[in-house]
Structure 1
């Protein structure tokens, strides 16, 4: 009998064979282990993402949710509250515009890459992607220098779950509380002394007299730290896996860095780090012969939708010439990621500089150790060799 357990190390390591069985044989599948329905076909996932009245995010969007987060962040609210939050947060993003961040991000990428000059073997995550993403996040949010390693460690713990208990463990909850306490301290400082950073702009964002309340500012900041470190860092690691394994594609990108734009989009389709998010049904829905009941949780398996041959020909082939329109690498519907522009820019600039220093590389280890997470997928380490 087929089983799908999103907490399984086997799914962490390679979810795609499971996804194919789900799409072909069980497109609306009840997972006993997760206690929720799994939607795996592209059209069903897109439809659910657009129908927020039925597939609600208000009870949390992570497969294993953190306490007291639901209902106060962009990812855990529905319209009209979601629209209000998005408008205020987008206002802050516009104040801290991409143009002002481009050169600082490039400088961070260049400095981080140059530290690898002459190295024959290194861990891409420890020595490049995590350093880069944390420094970019600190620059964008205005976090105090010196806290980088601690913040990263806690952010990575926050998104993990215990594969045995299928829940957040005490260490994951403690990391989340630490991050809230840390963010609260920074927010208080920015309220007293505003700067040109996102936290200052969140604190002061106002549209027609409406402002984010204290809890909204706190949880928005906490979520952005988590997303900035894990979502961006995890995707950079997955992109490096693709570049290491796809030598022809990598060499094309090295020879013509403009192709990195297309390679990033194909990697977001082929190997997104944001694999699965959940919704809660507000009414009964019958789909593919199965009736899902109001109150049931539903998993939108973005990683599966991106490999659906009903949407993308030869979906298991990595092709930087594909230009995969409508991929789910940044989610979809009303909950499409707000940080897509800065994420795309950051990865493009990071690999521009990385490839100048390390144009030839491959995976040094056959087996990867994967982060235990029911929502995100990325390796814990990625040893690269230049020979």
Structure 2
């Protein structure tokens, strides 16, 4: 099959429903593919994605990390974010905010996460259908992030609504207005919150960020607000979609589900395989700072390149029998959280939340079915998950 016969867009609903067949075709026949619908080059092979992630000087994040259709410019819509910055500022900011995600801090969160998970599961019906996203996978990371920031519990539902609206906005269907409104509301909320923490410091992440210094200077308000938005959306939606995708995969593999229920010690390795097999973030974009020639195809400076993590994680040349779900494989090569300087800052927290959530879920419910006919998928480009997932 030639490049001309392939059609790929991260915004295509059919691709969102099951992207893996077209990924297979891209890897085999068009490893450097121009998507006119997304206005970007697409890299689908494991080695090519990893090389690009390891070269931030050539593959810049400063102009945005999501592909956009022709005529849609999102560059100036959001305040500065760590994930959309390059060295040296990225190095300074990451060093600062990484202090909130040290192994000790993450370990200290585990009892609190257990308590949240148990409370949520206490509220779902033992029999009958319930929505896995709205009742469990969505609230869990939203509560954890809100508590880390020091947000009052009375505001949790509003946080969840803002984050969901933002991540589900789709610029290809003229639906980005609600997302911008949600972002504006979040900025306004956090702005007042920052002012309050300056006047009344507390032992929380928000106060630590307000008081922190980089080379003798405090973060600007725009940097603080951008980080808050990033933490809420990235830290929330990644875990929500990891858990939702996991519920579907384990329902489709009941023998593995029973194996995990009988052997909880296997769950950490299973989380890595779940991340690889159906990655919550299927890809992120970069902008080339100079021409790159790959597989005989020149890509010029200024072009956008979409790095398909989801395809890389299914590349048989890097991962044996990659389309097969196997919790016993070695997980080191998966790239669901990216690589290099932009490796997901909250990866350890997402892994902890997933491990605790799956262990508690399997302890209470060894079997469940998912109603995929009634499920509603997210339609937000390379973000893969569910807006609604009925389970029995």
| TM-score normalised to structure 2 length | 0.93
Q: Say if 2:166 is the partner of 1:158.
A: yes
Q: Distance in 2 between matches of 1:188 and 1:317?
A: 51
Q: 2:98 aligns with which of 83, 86, 90?
A: 90
Checking the alignment, whether the CA contact within 8 Å between 1:69 and 1:76 is kept in structure 2 is no
Q: Say if 2:322 is the partner of 1:318.
A: no
| 1:60-71 pair list within 5 angstroms | 60-64=64-68, 66=74, 68=76
Q: What is aligned with 1:331? A: 338
Q: What is aligned with 1:3? A: 7
Q: What is aligned with 1:111? A: 119
Q: 2:257 aligns with which of 250, 262, 280?
A: 250
SS at 2:293's partner residue?
strand
Decide whether aligned partners of structure 1 residues 138 and 70 sit closer, same or farther in structure 2, where only a CA change above 3 A counts: closer
Q: Say if 2:178 is the partner of 1:174.
A: no
SS at 1:68's partner residue?
coil
Q: What is aligned with 1:39? A: 43
Checking the alignment, whether the CA contact within 8 Å between 1:96 and 1:197 is kept in structure 2 is no
Deviation at 1:18, TM superposition (A): 1.0
| TM-score normalised to structure 1 length | 0.94
The farther-off stretch of 132-141 and 222-231 is 132-141
Q: Distance in 2 between matches of 1:83 and 1:313?
A: 35
Decide whether aligned partners of structure 1 residues 207 and 163 sit closer, same or farther in structure 2, where only a CA change above 3 A counts: closer
Q: 2:152 aligns with which of 132, 140, 144?
A: 144
Q: Distance in 2 between matches of 1:163 and 1:9?
A: 13
Q: 2:363 aligns with which of 352, 356, 359?
A: 356
Checking the alignment, whether the CA contact within 8 Å between 1:306 and 1:327 is kept in structure 2 is yes
Deviation at 1:357, TM superposition (A): 1.9
SS at 1:380's partner residue?
strand
Q: 1:120 aligns with which of 113, 128, 153?
A: 128
Q: Distance in 1 between matches of 2:321 and 2:104?
A: 40
Deviation at 1:368, TM superposition (A): 3.5
| 1:209-358 pair list within 5 angstroms | 209-358=216-365
- Runs of 5+ unmatched residues, structure 1: none
Q: Distance in 2 between matches of 1:118 and 1:95?
A: 35
Q: Distance in 2 between matches of 1:307 and 1:254?
A: 26
Q: Distance in 2 between matches of 1:83 and 1:101?
A: 26
Decide whether aligned partners of structure 1 residues 191 and 184 sit closer, same or farther in structure 2, where only a CA change above 3 A counts: same
The farther-off stretch of 26-35 and 195-204 is 195-204
Q: What is aligned with 1:185? A: 192
Q: What is aligned with 1:59? A: 63
Checking the alignment, whether the CA contact within 8 Å between 1:273 and 1:376 is kept in structure 2 is yes
Q: RMSD over aligned Cα, in angstroms?
A: 1.9
Q: 2:81 aligns with which of 50, 73, 81?
A: 73
Q: Distance in 2 between matches of 1:312 and 1:70?
A: 37
Deviation at 1:36, TM superposition (A): 0.4
Checking the alignment, whether the CA contact within 8 Å between 2:319 and 2:333 is kept in structure 1 is no
Q: Distance in 1 between matches of 2:229 and 2:171?
A: 24
Q: Distance in 2 between matches of 1:162 and 1:289?
A: 33
Q: Distance in 2 between matches of 1:69 and 1:336?
A: 23
Deviation at 1:141, TM superposition (A): 1.6
Aligned length: 384
The farther-off stretch of 126-135 and 313-322 is 126-135
Q: What is aligned with 1:201? A: 208
